[in-house]
Structure 1
Amino acid sequence: MQKIIAQLAQEIRVQERQVAAAVELLDGGATVPFIARYRKEVTGGLDDIQLRELEARLSYLRDLRDRRAAVIKSIDEQGKMTPALLAALLAAPTKQELEDLYLPFKQKRRTKGQIAREAGIEPLADALFADPILDPAAQAQAYVKPEKTEAGDDFTTVQAVLDGVRDILSERWAEDAALVQDLRGWLWEQGLFKSSLMVGKNESDPEVAKFRDYFDYDEPIARVPSHRALAVFRGRSLEILETKLVLPEPPVASVQASNQPSALSDKGSAVTKTRATPVVSLAEGRIALKLGWSHKGRAADDLIRKCVAWTWRVKLSLSTERDLFARLREASEAVAIKVFADNLRDLLLAAPAGPRVVLGLDPGIRTGVKVAVVDATGKLVDTSTVYPHEPRKDWDGSLHVLAALCQRHGVNLIAIGNGTASRETDKLAADLIKLMAKSPAAQNGQGQVAIEKVVVSEAGASVYSASEFASQEMPDVDVSLRGAASIARRLQDPLAELVKIDPKSIGVGQYQHDVNQSELAKTLEAVVEDCVNSVGVDLNMASVPLLSRVSGLSAGVAKAVVRWREANGAFASRQDLLKVTGLGAKTFEQCAGFLRIRGGSNPLDMTGVHPETYPVVEQILAKTGREVAELMGRAEMLKTLRPELFANEKFGVITVKDILAELEKPGRDPRPDFKVARFNDGVEDIRDLKEGMILEGTVSNVAAFGAFVDLGVHQDGLVHVSQLAHKFVNDAREVVKTGDIVKVQVVEVDVARKRIALTMKLGTPPARSGAAGDNRFQGASAQQRARGAGAAAHAPQSTAMSSAFAKLKGLGN
């Protein structure tokens, strides 16, 4: 274990004592949010990012340790362990390298090499490789068997014996860990990842055409971007693309005249003729180089060359390609999962509108627009359905119903889902706002607050509507109307509403269905947990799904907390949590600091100060002669206090500084202030966009290659990574994140295909299509974007607009 701790410390670049402390806490059941927030003293200030990395690597290294022990035991039981092998096994840094070393000793079916060894041919193989001057055919005569063995193995001819030599040597070399690792590393650096259209596929087929940029594509495998690799792998899984690993140069023909006897004639006897040495691939040359052998025209060299060729073509080519493709896929999936996680974090931590009355509109055409009003606490207070679109076209009647709801409930914010008919429904909301502004109450200034409208992502709303929790939360409400209520609540508090939905259903990932699903789920769950605990949760308002994300609270305990609240009324203090069945001292320690109670018996319960440190606050109160309520928010006074005066053996200076920071801004929310993008008047459709227009929009999704921006025209535009800033940007998230409000300039619009190219380099004339260095990009529809459609954008060689457009189409999810 000490070795693991030392390795983790080196990888994360912290001290071993910090790692040891964190491991002890994790093993003791502490969560990452709790350790990062309330055990800084113990871990030396490790943050949540470092702790997540440590947690993942700790699991991997422990698995590696256990597998290493099993391998050593297996080889030892076979009586084949040597000091050198043991040292190599103990030093193997990865599971793959460990398995490479174990391969020769792994129990497997009877191979041709093993059959040849059982027939006693191994000494001949060793002799010929050690001394290629020996004549293979002549030497093989002594190993020819008079008849087949009982098992039916046939070594009754010179050719069969020499084939046995080939099988022995090729199998030995293919199981040589050093040779295999060298070959694998060399091919990773030098090999090309190549794809082509599968024979028989129709290029005009829409499903096939999505992969047009990969019909004749190759790129150094070590430098293939995540989205391109996953696009090719998807094409292969759909049997549209053929993929292979190729070398960057054509095979090298080594022509050499020779008068030496050929070891293998057609009839197995030696013949003498002048010939050219057959073509040798670069991979075979690499194997020969690693073996320290070269063809010098000696008697056995032709045989050895064929053994080398057999090693590559039969034993290693496919397995090495498979290993490197697995490495590429694993790395690409890691990037895709990170993109999803980063976008999810941005979405969950988006600015909340707060306690405002919201009218939620779930757009629809034939089935109508579903309407829900939620009050300032998020409670559903009214529902309706209006039919402003086809086939009824009851525009005025719909406005009348919506205006009545706004007046009755004091609506001051409208949330519009971004699905089908969103653009038309957004226009309905605009007309509603104009109508409300002309109402007598508004004209007389009688308290009617100006109404704002916001288009929000409805991804996952249908999943929530049909969920068991939604039916418990709104038992007497139609499934379709629950979606409208969810859309409204997303504006009030995105975090509280989105935790009710499986993170994978929120739709801010790229190629999310092509990646390791368990790893994706694990990563996204960690993001949700970190976000919930960084913001804090109102104990007397939170739903079961929200509470279950709090550090230390399982779904069962979260339900018990809500049951206690329903039976006994609001929690008056954090200490009341200990009255909940199933919530003991350990769970209380983990969760209490992240739960907030507003208006409770102790003002500290609304802060991030953990109950275990309340005695420290009492010392501060005694020093200042103030009550808690008087001290909270008094930044000028708190800044004069010296943290070291209140530190003790259990809670040091770091903890005291955190306490003072919480008292300065009690109940602070780390999320940004709520703002609404101001869409330009008269710009309501993609046809209204003109090149050069400067608009304001909301970033709806971010990928490594660029950011999608909602301009209020029902088609998201794409700001390519090269157009985000007047500097080189490697990753779009360096500049923008989901939910940001940005100003963009229209570069080009393709109305027919509903694509919009944007730039954030305002005032810079955009490069024309086809110009040298043109790096432009294209938008995708909101529906495509919601599925992560941009993942395949940014073709490897083409920069023309039409090519990049084609790339985006349908390859994302």
Structure 2
Amino acid sequence: MKEELKEENHSDIVNNIVVISDSEEEEEEDEIKPKKFGSRKRKLDSDSDDDYLPETPKKKIKKAEGKPKPEKKPKEKAAPKEKKPKTVKPKTERKKPVRKTKTKENVLQGSAGEGTSNVQLGNPIQIQDADRMEWNESEYVAQLQQVEVHIARNIIRLLDEDNTIPFIARYRKELTNDMSPEKLREVKAAYDMVKSVKQKAASVMKSIANLGKLTPYLERSIRCARTINELDHIYTPFKPGSKRTLAERARQLGLDDPANYILCGIKFVVLEQLLKPQTKGLDNLNDIELGLQHIIADVISKDRNVLDYLTRLKNNKSKSKKEKEGKKDGKKAEHAHKDKVDNESKFENYFKFSIPIKYIKPYQVLAVNRGENLKVLSVKLNVPDWVLHRLRDFCQRQWLSRGIHFPLRSRLVNSSIQDAYTRLIQPFLIRQIRSELTQKAEHAAIEVFATNLKKLLLSPPFRGKVVLGIDPGFRNGCKIGVSSPTGTVLCTDVIYPQFGKQIYPQSDSNALKLKDLLNRYNCEVIALGNGTACRETETYLNVKYTIVSEQGASIYSCSPIAQKEFPGVDPNNRVSLARRLQDPLGELVKVEPKHLGVGMYQHDVPEKQLSSSLDEIVTECVSFVGVDINIASDCLLRRVAGLNSARAEKLIEWRRTNGPFTNRQQLKKVKGIGAKTFEQCAGFVRVIPETAKTKSMSKPSGSSKSKKSKLTDESENPLDRTWIHPESYTVALRFIEKCDVSLEDLGTPQFIRKVENAVTRI
């Protein structure tokens, strides 16, 4: 067997599907198990049936029995020198185990005990093993993300409690083993996928139960499914409106029980006894045998052990062979419709394109999928023949190694394995592989988009300076806008420079106007948009400038947010360009992340998934940077962890009615901000003394208790300037007291020096 597998060039599965385990090592494991099983049965009971023993263990056992020499017999007699009779009794007892009868009971109970209808979607002999394959969310997420089970369990619990990623990453590090926000998002995505599989499984079971076709084994198979593709594979025959499968037609003819007897080897089946000349499908032996083959093939294709074996072939990358021989067959994209010249020019690189699947890049997968959707490319995925050989060996060990042997059973099971692979398993395998490739490519595209967006949002600001923004153009001129250090619009104008001609600053009216604006408002830098006429305007300027991305600026200038912020001003993006240089985070959050143009194939990935991921990135950036609660805009506040647009509006309304916030505890007075919302957002908002007005402590006469509470509510707390969460204020105050420093000196060099000295002493 090993020599045959070596000759089959196992590198094909590495090149075409996914890296698999070393065939030699896996075969050794597969042979060891039946060897132990068979040898122990022969030692336990001399009357054991040969039908339950594989042929290979017999030969090995005979060789093992032939090796001992007769000279060793006196040694065995001399061995029982122990006088304790207790040691002899267990040996006789061990010779009478019920293992032989247990295996028979498993064969009989799996079919007759549960009913022959249970055989529809799996091997009834393995019913007890099917229960063990049921999984829970935490273990599966831990397996997918390669994290400890208790860490995955903690993260799932935190997510179920409506905790946000920024809050978990900063304030629950002890529960996540200091996991980064990027890894937390991956775990969250895996958990969302697991929940969708669970919901899909519940929906499938409910639909099949309504049809009255839900059997115990079918329910176990659905509960054990770990992907949407597996659930669809199981549910396809039961979908309303779908054509009846060949297996269903054969079952309606009453061939379910005989097929079960043949597959499990329960008893002999004589095809002549199934003949019914008046019934179509049972009027000749060929049709009867074909119907039995369809039922057995359906059982094999949906067996839980077979699906798990195929998964192991695809996913086990740790023992892959490195040999590469012959031509590599892989994903091929061929020229399809020659009449679409425009689309053809875009996909010329993928005509006659062939590549091993393990080497294909995410952008190539998305490009091939797009070409296929446009009907420009035709995609084919080749699976090597040796996969069938491995699967046939596995199925033979699964079913033919036990039960009653007769020629009809061997011939029919082998033909059913071939039929199941060609008609059911191979198409399912191809669909699953393509789906996995697409999912990985979409995930990579979203990850690139998120990484670029995070870098863009966290660009260093140019605060405290007057900036002049220029939106370059040819026909409509260069639009100019001057922004104050606080973002207020100081001036807007338009100039029409003559590009390509020699410039005389003393006589050029456009140059004089630009110079006048720079001197009048003391502008320190020019923010130049990177759109049309950018390079020409760049050569026109002879002052300090920087180029700013215009992506999304035009969309923002025509949005309701811009109209509300600049009422009565013509739509323009010149001021937005200047603000993007002064405060990138505060200005870019006003634009939908998908309009910023920092990703690839954004129209080929799920829009909902992309928007959700990018919104999480914006929330993470805003939360980790922090916002001043008294001057932050509505667009910025709604991006804070725990807040949304409605809560941000209520917060601004409270700030407008009651004045600036003096401490974080006042957030609880805002309508819509409860205990959970306060827990999520309190650590990410700051109360800066420079922007918070000091409120008068003199209040109308009243009870001393109420006066004390109002005083406490409106008093300032220096810890509100830090990222320390209010839930940790008690610990922070004890630490400050331990270091013998004053809370009023928080942030001063003296405070920092004393704390460092105290920490070194500890």
Tell me the TM-score range normalised by the shorter chain: 0.5 to 0.7
Matches within 5 A, 1:85-104: 93-97=226-230
- Residue identity matched to 2:745: A
* 1:365/1:391 contact within 8 Å kept: no
Go from structure 1 to structure 2 and tell me whether the alpha carbon gap of 1:393 and 1:576 turns closer, same or farther (over 3 Å shift): farther
- Greater shift, 541-550 or 621-630, is seen at 621-630
Matches within 5 A, 1:349-748: 349-388=458-497, 396-428=508-540, 430-431=541-542, 433=543, 452-479=544-571, 481=572, 483-598=573-688, 599=690, 600=692, 602=716, 603-619=718-734, 622=737, 624-626=740-742, 628-629=744-745, 632-634=748-750, 635-642=752-759
SS of the residue 1:640 aligns to: helix
Go from structure 1 to structure 2 and tell me whether the alpha carbon gap of 1:407 and 1:68 turns closer, same or farther (over 3 Å shift): same
Which TM-score applies when normalising by structure 2? 0.66
1:515-535 CA-partner distances (Å, limit 9, x unpaired): 122221121111111111111
Matches within 5 A, 1:57-76: 57-65=190-198
**Post-superposition shift, 1:628?**
1.8
The structure whose Rg is larger is: 2
In 1, Cα distance between equivalents of 2:363 and 2:681: 39
- Residue identity matched to 2:481: A
SS of the residue 1:335 aligns to: helix
In 2, Cα distance between equivalents of 1:227 and 1:540: 44
In 2, Cα distance between equivalents of 1:119 and 1:64: 34
Where does residue 174 of structure 1 map in the other structure?
A: 301
SS of the residue 1:406 aligns to: helix
Matches within 5 A, 1:148-167: 148=279, 153=280, 155-167=282-294
In 2, Cα distance between equivalents of 1:491 and 1:617: 37
1:676-711 CA-partner distances (Å, limit 9, x unpaired): xxxxxxxxxxxxxxxxxxxxxxxxxxxxxxxxxxxx
Higher relative contact order (CA 8 A, sep 6+): 2
* 1:104/1:175 contact within 8 Å kept: no
Where does residue 197 of structure 1 map in the other structure?
A: 334
**Post-superposition shift, 1:31?**
2.2
Which TM-score applies when normalising by structure 1? 0.63
SS of the residue 1:500 aligns to: coil
In 2, Cα distance between equivalents of 1:305 and 1:453: 76
* 1:236/1:243 contact within 8 Å kept: yes
In 1, Cα distance between equivalents of 2:155 and 2:465: 42
SS of the residue 1:416 aligns to: strand
- Residue identity matched to 1:532: V
Go from structure 1 to structure 2 and tell me whether the alpha carbon gap of 1:604 and 1:129 turns closer, same or farther (over 3 Å shift): closer
* 1:544/1:555 contact within 8 Å kept: yes
- Residue identity matched to 1:425: T
**Post-superposition shift, 1:284?**
4.7
- Greater shift, 41-50 or 596-605, is seen at 41-50
Q: Is 1:111 aligned to 2:245, yes or no?
A: yes
Where does residue 376 of structure 2 map in the other structure?
A: 240
* 1:184/1:324 contact within 8 Å kept: no
In 2, Cα distance between equivalents of 1:629 and 1:126: 82
Judging by fraction of residues, say which structure has more strand.
Answer: 1
Go from structure 1 to structure 2 and tell me whether the alpha carbon gap of 1:389 and 1:290 turns closer, same or farther (over 3 Å shift): farther
Go from structure 1 to structure 2 and tell me whether the alpha carbon gap of 1:641 and 1:418 turns closer, same or farther (over 3 Å shift): same
- Residue identity matched to 1:605: D
In 1, Cα distance between equivalents of 2:314 and 2:187: 31
In 1, Cα distance between equivalents of 2:640 and 2:502: 47
**Post-superposition shift, 1:200?**
3.6
Where does residue 222 of structure 1 map in the other structure?
A: 358
Go from structure 1 to structure 2 and tell me whether the alpha carbon gap of 1:465 and 1:179 turns closer, same or farther (over 3 Å shift): same
Query: Which stretches in structure 2 are left out of the alignment for 5+ residues?
Result: 1-133, 321-327, 401-406, 695-715
In 2, Cα distance between equivalents of 1:233 and 1:644: 63
In 1, Cα distance between equivalents of 2:434 and 2:150: 38
* 1:244/1:321 contact within 8 Å kept: no
In 2, Cα distance between equivalents of 1:98 and 1:307: 22
Where does residue 292 of structure 1 map in the other structure?
A: 396
Which of these residues, 147, 155, 160, is aligned with residue 27 of structure 1?
A: 160
SS of the residue 2:455 aligns to: helix
In 1, Cα distance between equivalents of 2:576 and 2:514: 18
**Post-superposition shift, 1:18?**
5.4
* 1:537/1:596 contact within 8 Å kept: yes
Where does residue 216 of structure 2 map in the other structure?
A: 81
In 2, Cα distance between equivalents of 1:35 and 1:199: 50
**Post-superposition shift, 1:283?**
5.3
In 1, Cα distance between equivalents of 2:639 and 2:252: 61
- Residue identity matched to 2:378: E
Query: Which stretches in structure 1 are left out of the alignment for 5+ residues?
Result: 249-280, 434-451, 646-813
1:237-292 CA-partner distances (Å, limit 9, x unpaired): 111110011135xxxxxxxxxxxxxxxxxxxxxxxxxxxxxxxx555545533432
Go from structure 1 to structure 2 and tell me whether the alpha carbon gap of 1:242 and 1:389 turns closer, same or farther (over 3 Å shift): farther
Go from structure 1 to structure 2 and tell me whether the alpha carbon gap of 1:473 and 1:334 turns closer, same or farther (over 3 Å shift): same
**Post-superposition shift, 1:507?**
0.8
- Residue identity matched to 2:452: N
Go from structure 1 to structure 2 and tell me whether the alpha carbon gap of 1:389 and 1:543 turns closer, same or farther (over 3 Å shift): farther
In 2, Cα distance between equivalents of 1:410 and 1:580: 41
1:341-395 CA-partner distances (Å, limit 9, x unpaired): 1111111111111222111112222222222111111122211222225799999
In 1, Cα distance between equivalents of 2:150 and 2:427: 45
* 2:222/2:231 contact within 8 Å kept: yes
